[in-house]
Amino acid sequence: MADREAARAASRALASRLRSDMRVNGVGITGDRFGFAVKVNLVDGLDQPELPAEIDGVPVETEVVGHSFLLLQ
Amino acid sequence: MDLQSARDLQAELLSIGMPYEIALGIAPIKGDYFELAVRVQHETPETVKVLAYIEDQARGEVDVQVIGTPQLQCSCEPYAPGASCGREDAGVGTLGPLVTVQGTEYVVSNNHVLANNNQGRPGDEIWHPGAPHLASADHDPPQRIGTLAGFIPLNEDGPNTVDAALCTLDDGIDFSCEISEVLDPGELVRGIRVAKRGWATGHTEGHVTAFEMNNFHIWCEPLGHVLFADQIQIEPDSGSLFFSLPGDSGALVYEPETKQAVGLIFAATRASLEPGRSATYVNPMPAVLDQLGAALTAR
């Protein structure tokens, strides 16, 4: 696992690469004192971009979160 | 059906996601016989379709009632983070923290709550429990609590970091808030416990699952898709289906042990796969305060 700074750099690099891909709904960081990883949120588990298992030694995790919506009623 | 069957069916249906206009419960009918209680706010083409599906899954053993729009919280005084608010041309959200900007106190909520996605103008009236057009004769009439003072414009080209606006407080409106410190973003890690009070779901607790989240896009009528960066993701504790629901926009998220502010709720996602797979997205509080030129104020 990587430290926070390495995960931040990897996350930003991947976010830049995926910026216009609407199948992705978030590229961030996850983890704790035992190590950090890049986290990629996907809209649909059946239609997702090809993602590396790690970037510059930082693991990449994915989660299917669905579409986003404002929380106004 | 028996009680366990009703509970299993309820859990199964909730796990695939219901429109917010439909609530599911258990209706005791007689002795050991129960039905699935279905409460519908109003019939729409979608809720009619979902109702047909529910009735099919329950083999007709349903107790359906159309209940209308749930009444907004009765007016509460003193007001505090978690109270509802709204404006004439938008829906209902939540009042967040109390802040001070250049010596004047304001309450923070989202731009999309107080300013209707950049459409508002300073002086627009803000109401509690919600705008007059949503009022019911059965409950306290809406009270004007203040006006829109300003907002951070949502940038259609992005990325945005905050969805925030300020509401003045009218004379005589007493607003209390005990949160005055901010969690250092450098301390954000997976698993940090957080809490919030919002008008839709009240007090809920969850945990941080991700942060510094970029490429988060969301539809903001009439602006279109708006891109956000640096957001915090929160998921509900196991056993809970959600940390927030529509109406909780603007709620203050804080760490319950230290009472430090973490951020401002504005959006959610829901993957209809299994219970607990909804996520809430939160503007980081340092960014909210920095862009508003504000400081948290406890009173």
Per-residue pLDDT of chain B (299 residues; tens, 9 = 90+): 998 899 889 888 887 777 767 888 888 787 788 889 898 866 666 678 788 889 889 998 998 877 655 544 445 566 999 999 999 888 899 999 999 999 999 999 999 999 999 999 999 999 998 777 666 665 667 889 999 999 999 999 889 999 999 999 999 999 999 999 999 999 999 999 999 999 998 999 999 999 999 999 999 989 999 999 999 999 988 767 789 988 999 999 999 999 999 999 999 987 654 444 689 999 999 999 999 999 999 98
Two tokens at B214?
């970029």
Query: Distance, in angstroms, between A7 CA and closest chain B CA?
Result: 10
CA B197 to chain centre: 9
Looking at residue B18, its pLDDT comes to: 78
Distance CA B112, CA A65 (A): 22
Inter-residue contact A2 to A38 (CB < 8 Å)? no
Same-domain check for residues B88 and B155? yes
Report whether B114 contacts B167 (CB < 8 A): yes
Question: Residue B118 maps to which CATH number?
Answer: 2.40.10.10
Per residue of chain A (73 residues), give pLDDT as tens: 699 999 999 999 999 999 999 999 999 999 999 999 999 999 988 899 999 999 999 999 999 998 899 999 8
Using the Cα atoms of residue B139, residue B141, residue B145 and residue B151 in order, give the sign of their dihedral: positive
**Looking at the structure, do residues B142 and B248 belong to the same domain, yes or no?**
yes
pLDDT for the residue numbered B77: 61
Return d(Cα A43, Cα B279) in angstroms, integer. 12
Q: How many helices (H) and strands (E) does chain B have?
A: 4, 20
Query: What is the pLDDT at residue B72?
Result: 46
DSSP-assigned beta bridge partners for residue B104: B101
The last residue of one of the domains, among B13, B37, B66, is B66
Query: Is the CB of residue B131 less than 8 Å from the CB of residue B87?
Result: yes
Q: What is the pTM of this model?
A: 0.81
Q: Which of B14, B43, B66 is the last residue of a domain?
A: B66
Helices (H) and strands (E) in chain A, counts: 1, 5
183-222 in B: which are within 8 Å (CB) of A? 186, 189-191, 198, 200, 209-220
pLDDT given for residue B27 in this prediction: 82
- pLDDT recorded at residue B76: 55
- Chain B interface disruption, residue of A8, A16, A70, most B CBs within 10 A: A70
> Is residue B228, in this structure, part of any structural domain at all?
no
A25 touches chain B (CB under 8 A): yes
Chain B CA closest to residue A9: B212
Residues B89 and B186 in one domain: yes
- Please check whether residue B142 lies inside any domain of the structure: yes
Residue B299 inside a domain? The answer is: yes
- A58 touching chain B per CB within 8 A: no
C-alpha separations of B236 from A27, B11, B56, B125, B258 in Å: 20, 16, 30, 33, 19
Residue B238 lies in a domain: no
Q: Would you say residue B216 lies in a domain?
A: no
Domain around B52: 3-66
- Pick the last residue of a domain from B66, B95, B114: B66
* pLDDT (tens digit per residue) in B152-206: 999 998 899 999 999 999 999 999 999 999 999 999 999 999 999 999 989 999 9
Cα–Cα dist A7/A39, whole Å: 9
Which residues 107-146 on chain B approach chain A with CB closer than 8 angstroms?
110, 112-113
Q: Are residues B167 and B108 in the same domain?
A: yes
B57 shares its domain with B103:
no
Closest CA to B268 of B119, B112, B118, B129: B112
CA distance A18 to chain B (A): 8
Q: Are residues B101 and B11 in the same domain?
A: no
Question: Which runs of E-coded beta strand occur in B152-277?
Answer: 165-167, 181-182, 193-198, 202-214, 216-220, 224-228, 231-236, 252-255, 260-270
Question: A–B: how many Cβ contacts below 8 A?
Answer: 129
Q: What are the distances in angstroms from CA A39 to CA A11, A32, A46, B69, B193?
A: 8, 13, 18, 38, 19
Within a domain: B275: no
Give the helix ranges, DSSP H, for chain B. Answer: 3-15, 45-57, 111-114, 285-292
Domain count, chain B: 2
First to last CA, chain A: 41
Asked if A5 reaches chain B (Cβ–Cβ under 8 Å), the answer is no
Q: Amino acid identity of B163?
A: D
The shortest C-alpha distance from A48 to chain B (Å) reads 14
